[in-house]
Amino acid sequence: MSLYKQWTDMVVEYVKTKGEAAFWDEYSDIETKIYVNLLANHGEVKKASIKSLADEFGVTIEFVMGFVDGINDSLKTSYDLEKVEADQELAFDIDFEKLYFNMLDAKAEYLYELPQWEAIFSQEKRKEIATRYRESKIVRNENKVGRNDPCTCGSGKKYKKCCGK
């Protein structure tokens, strides 16, 4: 069984037995500790295996796999999570703008408000990324049909007299 499958199975079992709130409390605490370490040392690419990270932070390999699952989209080179093994060395070469954007998208306030971000991006840069995030969520209909335009259903009538009623 892949480590990724172990992670997803562990989450399901954890939520069943202890509840979703308990899972998020424990997972967010672990995630915060790892991110504090990575962000504090942002000048270097951390290279570590899942097992060594689990030992370093005193957690299970499944929780570290969950962390890798969360950060994977923010790495310059992502991993095929189904093939990642506990002893495989991973390089956490992070695209920090993408990471901050993804943290906003995940609504992980406890992560995007970490003080370690101040050494990486200025307050203005973080506001710029947040603005770009908000704008990415706005849906704009470019092909708006006007009242007096021909109806889109092909009837030949004006929109206001057909489907626009």
pLDDT tens readout for residues 93-112: 999 999 999 999 999 999 99
Q: Is residue 85 part of a domain?
A: yes
Mean per-residue pLDDT for 41-60?
96
Which residues neighbour 117 within 8 Å (Cβ) at sequence distance 6 or greater? 39, 100, 126
Q: Is residue 114 part of a domain?
A: yes
β strands within the chain, DSSP E: 46-49, 89-92
User: What is the span of the domain harbouring residue 42?
Assistant: 3-121
Number of domains in the chain: 1
**Local confidence band at 1 (pLDDT 50, 70, 90 cut-offs):** confident
Single-letter amino acid code for the residue at 73: D
Q: Is residue 157 part of a domain?
A: no
Angle at Cα 49 formed by Cα 44 and Cα 52, nearest 5°? 95
Please report the pLDDT score of residue 49 as a whole number: 97
Taking phi over 0 as left and psi of -120 to 50 as alpha, with beta for the rest, 102 belongs to alpha
* Separation between Cα atoms, residue 165 and residue 159, nearest integer Å: 8
Q: In this model, does residue 165 exceed pLDDT 80? A: no
Give me Rg for the CA atoms of the chain: 22
Q: Is residue 63 part of a domain?
A: yes
Please report the pLDDT score of residue 146 as a whole number: 85
Q: Is 69 within 8 Å of 90 (Cβ atoms)? A: no
Q: In this model, does residue 90 exceed pLDDT 90? A: yes
Q: Is residue 153 part of a domain?
A: no
CB burial readout 132-142, b (16+ within 10 A) else e: ebeeeeeeeee
Please report the pLDDT score of residue 63 as a whole number: 96
Q: Is residue 57 part of a domain?
A: yes
Residue 68's closest CA among 126, 110, 6? 6
Q: Is residue 62 part of a domain?
A: yes
Q: In this model, does residue 76 exceed pLDDT 80? A: yes
Q: Is residue 93 part of a domain?
A: yes
**Local confidence band at 160 (pLDDT 50, 70, 90 cut-offs):** confident
